[in-house]
């Protein structure tokens, strides 16, 4: 197992013991699981960040909507300033600070109701009371694999090649060990990783799944805006981002033909201040940069003043990371079979 923070290895047994205690309490009935009226699809991961959950939530919401389902998303709203349960209003000033960057992005991209709150059961109840009656309705539970206080109809878990050799927190980035995949109904892997390393990724993932579980593949692509596409920030752009795996973003930019000369990385979910923007600008000036590239998740946190300041030096190009299921029709059939099963409808 690889460790991102080797100095924290002695703390891993403590973390593992805490996980075991939680599982023991759950089996003993001390920790209760609550059920909403509508079925729930959970999309989660083993890692603490960087698995690519948000693009998959967006892709799944769009797929279900196209199939005639009424969809909403329940999210914790990590790092948000507000408290309690709220419906995301992406058009508000400082929406990312109030609701969280990922919920705002999901609301913008899907046009479905997104509810944020630490209590996802309450968020689900609020969503159900606000929605019109439709027998083909479903909740998407964002980052829900470890949120076992809420019952789910389908458990979808994203896994990356990096996860397969990572260590538990705090030394590594795994919130649970690989054996937790036994709870998953579906595991989602990246098509490029499976295609390049099927022996070490695809086969290893299959070996971890319980009987009857499925493995779906997803294609991840960067979308650049017309008319200049990869050259939207000139020939020497500087990238900046506040995501869990910035090196992956930098690699995808390079692979797409975007000649990024430097990537300035901030901690995941970092809340930008003007001082951060000045730091990025200084890097660009020192390297004769022509403009800037960032992600949609980062762009929702930039104020008008920050954008204006960046654009004094060069154009700002916002790149979308999109996920597409390799066999969307087959996936839709699987989802509907589960969601329309008598046990799912009996709630």
Question: What pLDDT, in 10s, does the model give residues 333-342?
Answer: 999 999 988 7
58, 87, 139, 140, 208 from 126: Cα distances, Å: 21, 9, 12, 14, 36
> How confident is the model at residue 190, as a pLDDT?
94
Nearest one of 177, 160, 213, 185 to 41, comparing CA atoms:
185
Global model pTM greater than 0.85: yes
Residue with tokens 């705002």: 104
**Which of the four pLDDT bands, split at 50, 70 and 90, describes residue 129?**
very high
pLDDT at site 3: 67
Domain range 6-221+324-345, CATH architecture: 3-Layer(aba) Sandwich (3.40)
Q: Residues 253-280: what's their mean pLDDT? A: 96
Q: What is the average per-residue pLDDT within 40-69?
A: 95
Q: What phi and psi values does residue 287 have, to the nearest 5 degrees?
A: -110, 10
List the domain boundaries for the chain: 6-221+324-345, 233-314
Average pLDDT in the 296-325 region? 97
From CA 241, how far away is CA 147, in angstroms rounded?
27
Please, what is the angle between helix 53-66 and helix 101-110, to 10°?
A: 30
DSSP code string of 35-54 = --SS-EEEEEESBSS-S-HH
Identify whether the C-beta of residue 58 lies closer than 8 Å to the C-beta of residue 110.
Answer: yes
Residue whose pair of structure tokens reads 């997104």 in the numeric block: 114
Q: How far is CA 75 from the centre of its chain?
A: 11
Task: Provide the 8-state DSSP code for 185.
Answer: S
Outline where the chain has alpha helix (H).
12-27, 53-66, 95-99, 101-110, 120-130, 191-196, 203-208, 246-255, 274-286, 296-299, 304-311, 328-339, 342-345
At 90, which helix (H) or strand (E)?
none
CA–CA separation, 314 and 292 (whole Å): 7
**What CA–CA distance (Å, rounded) separates 48 from 143?**
10
Could you read off the pLDDT of 191-228 as tens digits, one per residue?
Answer: 999 887 767 788 899 999 999 999 999 999 999 999 99
């Amino acid at each position: 197992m690889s460790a991102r923070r080797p100095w924290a290895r002695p703390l891993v047994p403590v973390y593992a013991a805490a996980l075991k205690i939680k599982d023991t309490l759950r089996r003993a009935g001390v920790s209760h699981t609550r059920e909403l009226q509508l079925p729930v699809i959970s999309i989660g991961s083993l890692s603490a960040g960087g698995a690519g959950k948000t693009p998959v939530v967006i892709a799944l919401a769009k797929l279900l909507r196209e199939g005639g389902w009424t969809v909403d998303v329940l999210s914790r709203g990590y790092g948000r300033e507000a408290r309690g349960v709220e419906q995301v209003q992406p058009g508000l000033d400082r929406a990312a600070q109030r609701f969280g960057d990922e919920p705002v992005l999901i609301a913008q991209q899907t046009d479905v109701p997104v509810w944020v709150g630490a209590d996802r059961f309450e968020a689900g109840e609020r969503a159900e009371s606000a929605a019109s009656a439709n027998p083909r309705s479903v909740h998407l539970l964002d980052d829900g694999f470890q949120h076992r206080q809420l019952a789910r109809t389908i458990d979808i878990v994203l896994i990356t090649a990096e996860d397969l050799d990572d260590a538990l927190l705090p030394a590594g980035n795994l919130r649970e060990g690989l054996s937790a995949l036994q709870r998953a109904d579906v595991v989602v892997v990246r098509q490029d990783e499976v295609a390049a390393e099927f022996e070490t990724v695809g086969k290893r993932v299959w070996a971890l799944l319980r009987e009857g579980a499925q493995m779906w593949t997803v294609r991840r692509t960067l979308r650049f805006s017309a008319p200049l596409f990869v050259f939207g920030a000139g020939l020497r752009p500087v990238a900046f981002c506040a995501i869990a795996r910035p090196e992956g973003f930098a690699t995808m930019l390079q692979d797409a033909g975007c000649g990024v000369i430097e990537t300035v990385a901030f901690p995941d979910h970092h809340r930008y201040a003007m001082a951060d923007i000045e730091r990025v600008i200084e890097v660009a000036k020192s390297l004769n940069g022509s403009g800037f590239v960032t992600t949609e998740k980062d762009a929702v946190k930039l104020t008008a003043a920050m954008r204006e300041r960046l654009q004094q030096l060069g154009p700002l190009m916002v790149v979308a990371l999109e996920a597409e299921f390799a066999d969307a029709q087959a996936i839709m059939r699987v989802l509907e079979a589960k969601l329309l099963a008598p046990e799912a409808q009996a709630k």
